[in-house]
Amino acid sequence: MHVVELKQISKTYHLDAIDVPALVDIDLGVRPDCFTVISGASGSGKTTLLNVIGCIDLPDRGELIVAGEPVQKLSDDALSDFRARHIGFVFQNFNLLPVLTAYENIEYPLLLSRTPAPERKRRVEAMLDAVGLSDRAKNYPGQLSGGQRQRVAIARALAPSPKLVLADEPTANLDSVTGAAIIDLMRAMQRELHVSFVFSSHDPKVLAAADDAVMIRDGRIERIERREERAAA
Ligand SMILES: Nc1ncnc2c1ncn2[C@@H]1O[C@H](COP(=O)(O)OP(=O)(O)O)[C@@H](O)[C@H]1O
Ligand SMILES: [Mg+2]
C-alpha cells in the first residue's frame, strides 16, 4: 500500500493567453516509511507536484489518494482537517510566524488540531528536544539562525504526528554545511518516527540520502529509482 497514489495527474497554469503545463500525466506511488526525493531543474514542476500531494493545489485531471483517502471527494472543511492531521509541511523559506516564539510556532498546529493542553506541552517539548533546540524555546524566529529556523519548522511539521511530511527545497536557503546537517536530521527523524518524507531538491546530497528518487522534467516523470536499485548501483 502506498502512502500517496497519483494516477494520471495533470495541471496546467493559465497565464494571460499562455498555457503552462506544470504536471503532465503523473503516475506515482510513494512508499510508506521512506525518504522520497523529487529531483528536477528549476521550473520542472517540483513545487506544483508537492502542492498537489499536499492538497494545497488541485489538479485539473487525475486521481489523488493520500493515506488511503481519495482526497478530491472531501469537502473544504474535511480537507483542511485531513491536512492538519496527516500532512506536515517544511518550506524553502521556513515560513515561521515571526510574532510567535519557537515554542509557540511548534505548538500552533496542535492548537489547530485541538490537542489537549498537557499533550500539547509534552509534544512541543519532545520536538524541541528532538531537533536540539530546547534552550531556544523562547526565541523568536528573528533571533535564530537559518538552520535553527529550519529545525523549528521541522519540529512544527512533525508535532502533530503526521503520516506524511512534504519538504519543498528545504535546504535551498542554507549554506552547504547547515543544509547537510538539516538533511541528516530529517533522515534520522524519518527513520525514528517512521513517517513518510517527500522532498524536492536539486541538491546531490539530498539525492544521495534518498530511498526512492523521482526525476521530473518539464512536468513529466523521466525516471524513478527505487531503493533496491540504488543500493545495487
Ligand atoms: N502560479 C503560477 N502561475 C503560472 N505559472 C506557474 C505558476 N506556478 C508555477 N508556474 C509554472 O509552472 C511550471 C512549474 O513550476 P514549479 O512547480 O514552481 O517548478 P519547480 O518547483 O520545479 O521550480 C513552471 O514553468 C512555472 O513557471
Ligand atoms: Mg519550486
Q: Which CATH number is 84's domain given?
A: 3.40.50.300
Structural domain contains residue 205:
yes
- Here the cell at position 166 is 512534504
Rounded mean pLDDT of 188-202? 93
Confidence class for position 207, pLDDT limits 50, 70, 90? confident
Structural domain contains residue 19:
no
For the chain, how far is it from start to end, CA to CA, in angstroms? 26
From 48, 47, 85, select the one nearest 66 (Cα to Cα): 85
pLDDT at 117: 97
Confidence class for position 205, pLDDT limits 50, 70, 90? confident
Structural domain contains residue 24:
no
Q: How many domains does the chain have?
A: 1
Ligand 2 centroid – CA 201 distance (Å) = 8
- Here the cell at position 85 is 492531521
Ligand 2 centroid – CA 168 distance (Å) = 7
Predicted TM-score (pTM) of this structure: 0.94
Q: Express each pLDDT in 115-154 by its tens digit.
A: 999 999 999 999 999 999 999 999 999 999 999 999 999 9
Structural domain contains residue 98:
yes
Nearest-CA residue for ligand 1 atom 27 is: 43
Confidence class for position 202, pLDDT limits 50, 70, 90? confident
Give yes or no for residue 43 CB within 6 A of ligand 1.
yes
Structural domain contains residue 185:
yes
pLDDT at 232: 77
- Here the cell at position 155 is 519540529
pLDDT at 227: 81
Q: Give the residue, out of 20, 92, 215, with the most ligand 1 atoms within 8 A of its beta carbon, to mutate for a pocket test.
A: 20
Number of H helices, E strands in the chain: 8, 10
pLDDT at 33: 94
Whole-angstrom Cα distance, residue 207 to residue 214? 10
By residue range, what is the domain housing residue 156? 33-53+76-232
Structural domain contains residue 28:
no
Structural domain contains residue 9:
no
Structural domain contains residue 134:
yes
